[in-house]
């Protein structure tokens, strides 16, 4: 039991370090979960849920940059594309 927990802790720390540098930490955590006996579907769900925290933190850290990008409307940058996109969206609803 203790060995499995230490393995998962090591996998989590390595995954977090890899995600903070380049992403792809799931390549470490996902195989570690079935290795210690977690069912594959549960491992997939656990891995996906654990990744959500990183995505939310990334959004929070970059929120000012994202809001600055939102100030540029596609309709002002590309008049034809913006109008076609907005029309097709209105027709779909």
Q: pLDDT for 26-47, tens place per residue?
A: 899 899 999 999 999 999 998 8
Shared domain check, 56 and 90:
no
Domain that holds residue 91: 62-93
Q: Which residues of the chain, if any, have pLDDT below 50?
A: 74-75
For residue 44, the model assigns a pLDDT of 92
For residue 63, the model assigns a pLDDT of 79
DSSP-derived letter for residue 37 is T
Q: What is the pTM of this model?
A: 0.59
Shared domain check, 16 and 4:
yes
For residue 6, the model assigns a pLDDT of 95
Is 32 buried (19+), middle (13-18) or exposed (0-12) by CB count in 10 A? buried
For residue 80, the model assigns a pLDDT of 57
Angle ∠(36,39,45) on CA atoms, nearest 5: 105
Q: How many domains does the chain have?
A: 2
């Amino acid at each position: 039991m203790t060995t499995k927990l230490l393995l998962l802790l090591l996998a989590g720390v390595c995954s977090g370090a890899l995600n903070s540098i380049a992403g792809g930490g799931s390549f470490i955590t996902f195989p570690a979960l079935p290795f210690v006996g977690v069912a594959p579907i549960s491992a997939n769900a656990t891995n996906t849920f654990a990744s959500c925290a990183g995505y939310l933190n990334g959004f929070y850290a970059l929120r000012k940059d994202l809001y600055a990008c939102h100030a540029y409307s596609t309709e002002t940058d590309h008049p034809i594309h913006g109008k076609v996109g907005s029309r097709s969206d209105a027709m779909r609803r």
